[in-house]
Amino acid sequence: MFSRVFSAGISGIDACLVCVEADISGGLPQFHMVGLLSSEVKEAKERVIRALSNSGIELPARKITVNLSPAGIRKQGSGFDLPIAVSILTAMGIIREEAAAGRLFVGEMSLDGQINKVNGILPIAMKAKEEGIHSLIVPKENAFEGAVIDGIRIFGVSGLGELIRGLNEGTLTETEHISLEQELAAAYEAGNLDFLDIKGQEKAKRATEVAVAGFHNLLYIGPPGSGKSMLSKRIPSILNRLDVEECLEISKIYSVMGLLEKDTLVLGRPFRSPHHSITATALIGGNGNPRPGEITLAHKGVLFLDEAAEFKKDVIEMLRQPLEDKQIVISRLNRNVVFPADFMLVMAMNPCPCGYFPDKRCSCTMSEVNRYHNRIRGPVLDRIDVCTGTSRLAPEELEQRDGTGSVQMRERIDLARKIQEERFAGYGIRFNSQMSRSQIEQYCPLEEGDRKLLDKAYARYHMTARGYYKVLKVARTIADLEGSQMIRREHILEAIGYRNLHEI
Ligand SMILES: [Zn+2]
């Protein structure tokens, strides 16, 4: 008696197809499992035996062999419980062979035969579709993840008895398809944080708008309580709406990590704000079976480092490569795992250890202030294009009613984004911040007088060459925000105002 069903495992953030075979033959009663199994998968044997027994099914007193193939892929996770049970039940003739054939099964089982949720159903559903498998049996709690994929049928089940009956009688209930396009539109409309909630801080809001428009990395410097984290939390409200493809790309990561909220995918751009005590592995990703870190959870969204000077310097410096490559490659003995990491970096810090420099309340010495700033100097700070101060509100600002809101900011940003899309069509980049030096020369022409002005600033502020090009890139974005083809004097002056004071 032999049977075979499909299942799938997770490697990195992608799924791979796995075949689960069961063979029941003569010989001494025993239960063998083979196929490069991790300890979690080996434990499936005990769970499956108990779950079957508690569902009133006794295994025959014969030799049972279960094989998970291909043998070259290490099988991990608890999602193989269900396919192992189904393949045995099919070999025993309890489930009709044709009812299980061609379907993919994933799910963890508890000892009483309950089918529990597992991580990674979304990438598994995507992989199943790619492989031409159109029917998936998954834990009921995970069914919504597959229901967003067109062209496949998802059946959510919660218990073994229900599954056996449903398969044999053809009465499984199909989960209704979810239109992701509609969900995304609704979530975008319902977005609740708005820059309008922030009184005053018009200068910092403007800097934020410029940074978002050109996808420039951003640094806020200001005393405690001056709104740095309020500002950064509102950045997703002015980033463009997620499209279906991006939503699936991000949700796949959250699905593998088990971080999807109940019954919904990630419908808005991520905003991740790891604490400054974070380890390099938690930030970048890694460990034995590599798992994505915060930079990958921030993919297509914002990575916010509050109290940037408090992070360990070697941890922050690990951001250099992903900032450059928009992905992170984690090498393991026999393979490389690639995690996407295309995020906007936003950092915030106090101006000095006590937080009040240059106010007279500041109790720090000049060398303490310098040492504090030194903590973030280096390769990551080099990749910050826009730097802006935040200040505590003046009394009249507290009264202010008609500040800038997300809707107005988004209108200008949309215009700038459109211009950049046309400019860089075919170049493989999308934003001004990604321009190479030769592209800067090509797309940032200045009038003779304005060139001289910038050269003067370069000398006067002891700017680095990198700083000089940053000013040009940011000036390009500022011009784009008002639809101006030429970079004008006021654009350059504004960009010089955002230069990074720490680089001098
Ligand atoms: Zn101080």
d(CA 501, CA 504): 6
Strands 335-340 and 327-332: antiparallel
Q: Do the Cβ atoms of 330 and 285 come closer than 8 Å? A: yes
d(CA 296, CA 257): 11
* Separation of CA 362 and ligand 1 centre (Å): 4
* Separation of CA 355 and ligand 1 centre (Å): 5
Q: What is the pLDDT of residues 19-39, one digit of tens each?
A: 999 999 988 899 999 999 988
pLDDT for the residue numbered 463: 87
Max mean pLDDT range (91-105, 280-294, 399-413): 91-105
d(CA 346, CA 295): 12
140 pLDDT above the threshold of 90: yes
Neighbours of ion ligand 1 (CB under 5 A): 352, 354, 357, 362, 364
| Domain spans of the chain, in order of start | 2-169, 190-397
Secondary structure class of 284 (helix, strand, coil): helix
pLDDT for the residue numbered 502: 58
User: What are residue 455's phi and psi, to 5 degrees?
Assistant: -60, -35
504 pLDDT above the threshold of 50: no
Among 136, 140, 138, 66, which residue's Cα sits nearest to residue 102?
136
* Separation of CA 202 and ligand 1 centre (Å): 25
CA 467 → CA 280, 385, 439, 457, 473, distances in Å? 28, 8, 16, 11, 10
Residues 6+ apart with CB under 8 A from 267: 183, 184, 187, 188, 242, 247
The DSSP string of 53-69 is HHTT-PPPSSEEEEEEE
Residue labelled with tokens 């393949």? 87
Mean pLDDT of 257-278: 95
Secondary structure class of 30 (helix, strand, coil): strand
Number of CB atoms found within 10 A of residue 355's CB: 18
Q: Which two tokens stand for residue 319?
A: 């951001």
d(CA 170, CA 152): 17
pLDDT classification of 54: cutoffs 50, 70, 90: very high
Write down the CATH number for the domain with range 190-397.
Answer: 3.40.50.300
Q: Do the Cβ atoms of 473 and 214 come closer than 8 Å? A: yes
Greater pLDDT, 397 or 227? 227
Residue 421's identity, in one-letter code, is E
pLDDT for the residue numbered 336: 86
User: What are residue 383's phi and psi, to 5 degrees?
Assistant: -95, 10
Q: What is the pLDDT of residues 125-139, one digit of tens each?
A: 999 999 999 999 999
503 pLDDT above the threshold of 60: no
* Separation of CA 352 and ligand 1 centre (Å): 5
* Separation of CA 360 and ligand 1 centre (Å): 9
Mean pLDDT of 384-397: 85
Q: Do the Cβ atoms of 55 and 95 come closer than 8 Å? A: no
CA 382 → CA 140, 320, 378, distances in Å? 48, 9, 6
Do domains 2-169 and 190-397 share one topology? The answer is no
Q: What is the pLDDT of residues 164-205, one digit of tens each?
A: 999 999 999 999 999 999 999 999 888 779 999 998 899 999
User: Is 1.20.840.10 the CATH classification of the domain at 2-169?
Assistant: no
Among 129, 127, 167, 125, which residue's Cα sits nearest to residue 146?
125
Classify burial at 297, counting beta carbons within 10 Å of its beta carbon; exposed 0-12, middle 13-18, buried 19 or more: buried
* Separation of CA 457 and ligand 1 centre (Å): 28
d(CA 135, CA 103): 5
H or E element at residue 206: helix 202-214
Q: Which two tokens stand for residue 484?
A: 């101006």
Classify burial at 245, counting beta carbons within 10 Å of its beta carbon; exposed 0-12, middle 13-18, buried 19 or more: exposed
pLDDT classification of 501: cutoffs 50, 70, 90: low
Residue labelled with tokens 């921030």? 298
Q: What is the pLDDT of residues 444-475, one digit of tens each?
A: 999 999 999 999 999 998 888 888 999 999 99
* Separation of CA 395 and ligand 1 centre (Å): 23
* Separation of CA 221 and ligand 1 centre (Å): 13
Q: Which two tokens stand for residue 438?
A: 């030769």
d(CA 217, CA 346): 6
* Separation of CA 15 and ligand 1 centre (Å): 51
pLDDT classification of 265: cutoffs 50, 70, 90: very high
Q: Which two tokens stand for residue 486?
A: 């030429």
* Separation of CA 348 and ligand 1 centre (Å): 16
Residues 6+ apart with CB under 8 A from 405: 194, 195, 196
Q: How big is the chain by its Cα radius of gyration, in Å? A: 28
* Separation of CA 243 and ligand 1 centre (Å): 45
Average pLDDT over all residues of the chain: 93
